[in-house]
Structure 1
Amino acid sequence: MNARPAPEFPEWPQFDDAERDGLIRALEQGQWWRMGGAEVSAFEEEFGAYHGAPHTLAVTNGTQALELALQCLGVGPGTEVVVPGFTFISSSQAAQRIGAVAVPVDIDPSTYNIDSEAVAAAITDRTRAIMPVHMAGLIADMDALAKISVETGVPVLQDAAHAQGACWQGKRVGELGTVAAFSFQNGKLMTAGEGGALLFPDEETYETAFLRHSCGRPRTDRHYLHAISGTNMRMNEFSAAVLRAQLRRLDEHRAVRDERWKTLSALLGEIPSVVPQGMDPRVDRNSHYMAMFRIPGISEKDRNRLVDTLFAAGLPAFAAFRAVYRTEAFWEIGAPDLSVEEVAERCPAVEAISADGLWLHHRVLLASEDAICDTAAIIAAAVAAA
């Protein structure tokens, strides 16, 4: 591959005086935890309003957001949760950590989102939740999943860790009628290093979640009368202050990423053997957490070499998620009564994308048009050489 200058990409995370002012504001208020301060409550109100949700709860991180939501939906020992086989492992581990069995199913080979037909086939009398993951910010088929939910009585929990600001047919994530979980880990589209949030369509589930996230203790309790079992998942005031600032630039960033992805996906589509992540026309706002693409037919070994080549050329490139069931962690607890190969046989698209998929960090999509063109040229040269 001919050497060429590395494109210039913005740093991530991004911050300015808004974050600095927020941290000072949180510091000087004199109360640094949510029960005495004002930042967490303000963030919950602002984040919920932005996503169209009537109730919002900020928590420590996205993984615990999923665990908490699953508990509130009745998930626990002896139950099952349907998850995509292709996702970051927190999606399955959230169910497994609270005693449930995670049941991986296949995905759509174009959008990389959970396959609704596979979901329907996986439902049993032990299923207590269906967990779509809005992969790279592209919302899953919420119409089909809602239909399955109505027919079976199994609730949907949106893993929206990638989907801040996304919309499905004009509806924001908080307007889709289900619980939704978000992550604010360092690489996410808005971040405080760590953090998470839950959106709730009803007050009862929200109130249960609030108790469980605060050691089961009612807001006004002064005598340690813990009402239900819980743990400490409370977000601190400093994280909330940073996230309030991050939220204010989310729309601007999303608009830039959307324009850059149009350019990059078109250029990637012109490269022989390269297939960019597909679109669903019902998704009218894609948050573009990752710039994802496939090279169908490449071996996992050669894909990994290609990732190393792109990284050496200055691109923030990564291999796609490994199938959750092809990790040792998945089988430690809460695994289905099947072998690895039996699960894999049910998930052909997961198997393929885990081996031939790549992604670029979303800061690439905040770069200039020239940098996008250079990125595509580097990928084209690397693929040709491979």
Structure 2
Amino acid sequence: MNPRQAPEFPAWPQFGDDERTGLIRALEQGQWWRMGGSEVDSFEREFAAHHGAPFALAVTNGTHALELALQVMGIGPGDEVIVPAFTFISSSQAVQRLGAVAVPVDVDPDTYNIDPVTVAAAITPRTRAIMPVHMAGQIADMDALGKLSADTGIPLLQDAAHAHGARWEGKRVGELSPVSAFSFQNGKLMTAGEGGAVLLPDAETYEKAFIRHSCGRPRTDRRYFHETSGSNFRLNEFSAAVLRAQLGRLDAQIATRQQRWPVLQELLRQIPGVVPQTVDPRADHNSHYMAMFRIPGISEEGRNALVEALVARGLPAFVAFRAVYRTDAFWETGAPDMTVEELAELCPHTEAITRDCVWLQHRVLLGTEEDMHVTAAIVAEVVAETLAAR
């Protein structure tokens, strides 16, 4: 008998007449960069309003969004920024590219978000920022992190690359800290292929970020008087036009994923050996960037084989992020004065998640309720086969 195959999930990215109309609108305005057009300005206003922030600055990608946010916060050489050990490498690299030191700390084994207890233990006199990453769209414990920030005076920079439209106890991302960063890379919940945004608290900070994202040049300058160091992080008009349409799709897509995840989560929970990501009830509007689950006790090789088997069955499955300190890139510059083994000892949950975690792309959660049952059945079959072969 042929193995059960996955249903045909909705394609990603999703697009339609709104994106086409926006691209034509950007084309016909005759100015295709932000300094002469209106699409980027309009997108910034709309994105900021949607996320409860006074201002948003659109940039070239999510990594640049983090880098620019850190610069605006005054992070530089010798400063320390606490990051989760379990995250995509951009979280730590944005710190390191500014000459600062990325200090990885452990995460919660159930939500996969940064653990406030490990954050508190890692604070030193050189700590200048704390970067919670909202893993898979679930907001980190902003109650505990906000209190820690208030008590220590160390600001929070939210890495919200997975958390478009997410909320914590009814509060939107822009209401949870003064600065946060988003990504619009091709797989993200809103996309123009690439792109990013920084949410900012006031006009003064926006202008400071604007100058840095435009090669250090004020918007009114005509004689090349560059006021500060910077780079070209400007988003183009075509990308902004697409993102305006994508923002219009976001809430309906989140509503579908919020309906589907509880179904899939419960089905996964019933599979022997599988533990799905736990949802913190305070994260009351979860954008569900990924459907994540663990197989505790499996080897990394076994997990990798399991993912390949899921892909062969038609599921968009991926291995989890590797602990940032277990990459060569992390040690090139801006690493703490510790060994891999010492960091691993401090991050046992990250070590386990790196080894045993699997994630399914969010388009799975845009399928039907029946699709969730088929998906879980395939996972159950592949997990049973993989564990039996150990």
Q: Equivalent residue of 1:146, what SS?
A: helix
Q: Residue deviations 1:16-51, cap 9 Å, x none?
A: 011111011000000001011000000001101110
Matches within 5 A, 1:267-282: 267-282=267-282
Once the two structures are TM-superposed, the CA of residue 177 in structure 1 deviates from its matched residue by: 2.9
Cα separation, 2, equivalents of 1:175 and 1:17: 32
Match of 1:183 in 2: 183
- What letter matches 2:55 in structure 1? H
Q: Equivalent residue of 2:284, what SS?
A: strand
Cα separation, 2, equivalents of 1:369 and 1:176: 33
Matches within 5 A, 1:42-191: 42-191=42-191
Q: Is 2:3 the partner of 1:3?
A: yes
Cα separation, 2, equivalents of 1:282 and 1:47: 23
Q: Which moved more, 1:195-204 or 1:164-173?
A: 195-204
Matches within 5 A, 1:342-353: 342-353=342-353
Matches within 5 A, 1:230-241: 230-241=230-241
Once the two structures are TM-superposed, the CA of residue 225 in structure 1 deviates from its matched residue by: 1.6
Q: Equivalent residue of 1:193, what SS?
A: coil
- What letter matches 1:148 in structure 2? L
Once the two structures are TM-superposed, the CA of residue 187 in structure 1 deviates from its matched residue by: 0.2
Match of 1:27 in 2: 27
Q: Equivalent residue of 2:58, what SS?
A: strand
Cα separation, 2, equivalents of 1:64 and 1:297: 37
Q: Residue deviations 1:102-143, cap 9 Å, x none?
A: 000000000000000100111111111100000000000111
Q: Residue deviations 1:42-68, cap 9 Å, x none?
A: 000110111011011000000000000
Once the two structures are TM-superposed, the CA of residue 249 in structure 1 deviates from its matched residue by: 0.7
Match of 1:290 in 2: 290
Match of 2:314 in 1: 314
Once the two structures are TM-superposed, the CA of residue 371 in structure 1 deviates from its matched residue by: 1.3
Q: Equivalent residue of 1:301, what SS?
A: helix
Cα separation, 2, equivalents of 1:141 and 1:5: 38
Checking the alignment, whether the CA contact within 8 Å between 2:13 and 2:191 is kept in structure 1 is yes
Q: Equivalent residue of 1:82, what SS?
A: strand
CA RMSD of superposed structures (Å) = 0.9
Unpaired runs of 5+ in structure 1? Answer: none
- What letter matches 1:160 in structure 2? A
Cα separation, 1, equivalents of 2:383 and 2:32: 51
Cα separation, 2, equivalents of 1:175 and 1:11: 32
Q: Percent identity?
A: 73
Q: Equivalent residue of 2:198, what SS?
A: strand
Q: Residue deviations 1:168-225, cap 9 Å, x none?
A: 1110001113201000000000100000000012333222111100111111111212
Q: Is 2:303 the partner of 1:303?
A: yes
Q: Equivalent residue of 1:197, what SS?
A: strand
Q: Is 2:48 the partner of 1:15?
A: no
- What letter matches 2:66 in structure 1? L
Match of 1:40 in 2: 40
Cα separation, 1, equivalents of 2:19 and 2:77: 42
Once the two structures are TM-superposed, the CA of residue 5 in structure 1 deviates from its matched residue by: 3.0
Q: Residue deviations 1:68-105, cap 9 Å, x none?
A: 00011111111111000000000000000110110000
Cα separation, 2, equivalents of 1:332 and 1:2: 47
Aligned positions, number? 386
Cα separation, 1, equivalents of 2:104 and 2:178: 21
Cα separation, 1, equivalents of 2:6 and 2:206: 47
Q: Equivalent residue of 2:109, what SS?
A: coil
Cα separation, 1, equivalents of 2:200 and 2:114: 22
Q: Equivalent residue of 2:165, what SS?
A: coil
Once the two structures are TM-superposed, the CA of residue 6 in structure 1 deviates from its matched residue by: 2.4
Match of 2:212 in 1: 212
Checking the alignment, whether the CA contact within 8 Å between 1:2 and 1:381 is kept in structure 2 is no
- What letter matches 2:379 in structure 1? I
Cα separation, 1, equivalents of 2:12 and 2:258: 18
Once the two structures are TM-superposed, the CA of residue 349 in structure 1 deviates from its matched residue by: 0.4
What TM-score results when the alignment is normalised by the length of structure 1?
0.99
Q: Equivalent residue of 1:284, what SS?
A: coil
Match of 1:200 in 2: 200
What TM-score results when the alignment is normalised by the length of structure 2?
0.98
